[in-house]
Amino acid sequence: MLLIRLGIILGMGLTLLRLRPAFDDAIHDGVDILSLSLGIEAPYLQDPVAIGAFHAEENGVMVIASAGNSGPLPSTAINTAPWISTVGASTIDRTFVSTVLLGNGKAFQGSGISLSNLSHSKIYPLAFGKDIATNLSVVSQARSCSGGSLDPRKIAGRIAVCITSNSTVSYETMILAKAKGNPTATILPTVEVPRYKPAPIVASFSSRGPGPLTGNILKPDVTAPGVAILAAIVPFGEKPADYGFMSGTSMSCPHVSGAAAFIKSVHPTWTSSMIKSALMTTASVYDNIGKPLKNDSGYYANPHEMGAGEISPHNALNPGFVFETTTKGYLRFLCYYGYSNKIIKAMSNTNFNCSKNSSHKLISNINYPSISISKLDRHKVATIVKRTVTNVGSVNATYAANVQAPSGLAVNVYPKKIEFSENKKKVSFKVSFKSKDPDSGYNFGSITWWDGQDNHVRMVFAVNIVQ
């Protein structure tokens, strides 16, 4: 049996200074994959995660990290270096419903988890958070029952009504108006709803692209389950082995790490960029009712929200072909981004030289499994990007390209057909983008290569049209 070593670095209690040794230890321990549920906002070479991950990548260790929980605002993704697999969060097809039964017989259903056993207990008096606050707490915090704002003695024997909306006054007035006398309620045991539809949905907290450092690499890369995940939790300073439902990209990241370990166990010779490519090009963009994946507001999710889509680990075992990104490619990326030769040499411990023509625009040309162009001048001729792909499927295979582009963007692939054979394991193609529309802003689409059989290799793109 093949053993895949999975390293996990967690954020809790880990200072930035101790991050570098954590990476070095993991590399020294011989891990294959590093799962990082942590991150900070910083330029690449001031970010210990990006630097540590670069060294891991140089040593053949795949690094998978959380995109962050600062959504749904755009440009909030972290861990966006191209040598990191950046993971957003989505819901799963299981949810929990709890019913609040008021004294007057009215029932309200909502999502939530009640661990108490009130079904056989008496009803309890209701109390607003602000009415059972500690003497010192701020009213707005007590209203939403935020941590430490309620007085334990006053809350004993009551069900607290916590109002998280900002329109606090109107809600309280509404509830008070309906509640005559002394309002009471009970909370019925939580009911699990399996096979919940639609799922997945991109979680609203999941951090979004475009990458705040460069819009020329598409981020996040993929999404994975990250809402109400049953996880082992270790409360600070308490005894371990507790379980709880947790939400966040800290939960979705390890799902991708597990999927990567699964792929690595079947294809032990694959590099981290091959595994990342396989996960991206086979990701699903449909939910469990067969509709395009949506965001939390019911709109179709775009690649800045979900990356290439929701991972499908089983499909990723046979991706057909892959986009390989090499350490050299990542070094070129740092040159194009604007770092000096000297800094790059010191960081990477290599004798690599930046080419004279390095420019930010060329980042789009890094051999990445998706395409992003942060500035496509509306009046200019087409922008062309190049990719080279490596066959990992049948020795003889022919793929044809099918472009899905929005009406404002002319996208052409050439050649439109690529062929692999015994002597031809790598093939290059180019994609040209030209604006057709007076509207500015990001345009999204995809190029799907199909071999006429089971393999669909889907590459997403994001192109920002500017004046």
Ligand X SMILES: *[C@@H]1O[C@H](CO)[C@@H](O)[C@H](O)[C@H]1NC(C)=O
Question: 239, exposed or middle or buried, with CB in 10 Å at 0-12, 13-18, 19+?
Answer: exposed
**Of the candidates 164, 165, 163, 135, which has an alpha carbon nearest to the alpha carbon of residue 149?**
135
Kindly report each contact of residues 333-338 with a partner whose C-beta sits within 8 Å and lies 24 or more positions away, as own/partner. Answer: 333/82, 333/217, 333/363, 333/366, 334/44, 334/45, 336/360, 336/361, 336/362, 336/363, 336/366, 337/44, 337/213, 337/214, 337/363
Q: Please tell me whether residue 297 binds ligand X under the rule CB under 6 A.
A: yes
Interface residue with ligand X among 166, 170, 340, 404 (CB under 6 A) is 166
Q: Which amino acid is at 133?
A: A
User: Which is nearer to ligand X, 282 or 295 (by Cβ)?
Assistant: 295
- Min CB(114)–ligand X separation in Å: 11
Identify which of residues 355 and 428 has a Cβ nearer to ligand X in the complex: 355
The continuous run of DSSP H or E covering 25 comes out as helix 19-29
In angstroms, give the least distance from the CB of 209 to ligand X.
Answer: 12
Please, which residue, 396 or 404, has the CB nearer to ligand X?
396
Contact between 351 and ligand X (CB under 6 A)? yes
Q: Does 296 bind ligand X (CB under 6 A)?
A: yes
Tokens of 326: 């090499």
Residue among 238 and 422 whose Cβ is closer to ligand X: 422
Query: Cα separation of 413 and 83, whole Å?
Result: 26
Cβ count near 17 (within 10 Å): 8
269 touches ligand X (CB under 6 A): no
The residues, ordered by sequence, that sit 6+ positions from 317 with a Cβ below 8 Å of its Cβ are: 262, 263, 266, 267, 278
DSSP string, 374-401: EEEETTS--EEEEEEEEE-S-SSEEEEE
Sign of dihedral through CA atoms 113, 116, 122, 126?
A: negative
Nearest-approach distance from CB 168 to ligand X, in angstroms = 8
Nearer to ligand X, 398 or 402 (CB): 398
Task: Please report how close the Cβ of residue 220 comes to ligand X at its closest, in angstroms.
Answer: 13
Task: Please give the Cα distance from 274 to 325 (Å, whole number).
Answer: 8
Measured from the CB atom, is 138 or 234 closer to ligand X?
Answer: 138
Tell whether residue 135 is a contact of ligand X (CB under 6 A).
yes
Q: Which stretch binds ligand X (CB under 6 A): 103-111, 228-236, 265-273, 290-298?
A: 290-298
Cα 358 from chain centre: 30
Residue 152, Cβ density class (10 Å: 0-12 exposed, 13-18 middle, ≥19 buried): exposed
To ligand X, the closest distance from the beta carbon of 322 in angstroms equals 19
Q: How many Å from the N-terminal Cα to the C-terminal Cα in the chain? A: 57
Number of residues that bind ligand X (CB under 6 A): 20
The single residue among 104, 111, 353, 453 that binds ligand X, judged by CB under 6 A, is 353
Nearer to ligand X, 47 or 221 (CB): 221
Per-residue binding letters, 46-85, with ligand X (x by CB under 6 A): --------------------------x-------------
* C-beta of 36 vs 185, nearer to ligand X: 185
Asked if 395 touches ligand X (CB under 6 A), the answer is: yes
Among 299, 340, 419, 425, binds ligand X (CB under 6 A): 299
CB 150, min distance to ligand X, A:
13
Task: Give the separation between CA 228 and CA 94, rounded to whole angstroms.
Answer: 9
- Positions in 88-127 near ligand X (CB under 6 A): 117, 120
Query: Do 321 and 399 touch, CB atoms closer than 8 A?
Result: yes
Give the Cα separation of 220 and 239 in Å (integer). 35
Pick the closer one to ligand X by CB: 135 or 407: 135
Please report how close the Cβ of residue 249 comes to ligand X at its closest, in angstroms. 14
User: d(Cα 215, Cα 209) in Å, to the nearest integer?
Assistant: 8
Query: Nearest distance from residue 147's CB to ligand X, in Å?
Result: 14
Residue 204 makes contact with ligand X by CB under 6 A: yes
Is the separation of the CB atoms in 56 and 63 below 8 Å? yes
* Min CB(458)–ligand X separation in Å: 20
CB 121 within 8 A of CB 89: no
Q: Any contact of residue 357 with ligand X (CB under 6 A)? A: yes
Residue 11 C-beta: closest distance to ligand X, Å: 24
CB of 44 to ligand X, least distance (A): 21
Q: Which residues bind ligand X (CB under 6 A)?
A: 72, 117, 120, 135, 166, 204, 295-297, 299, 351-353, 355, 357, 362, 395-396, 421-422
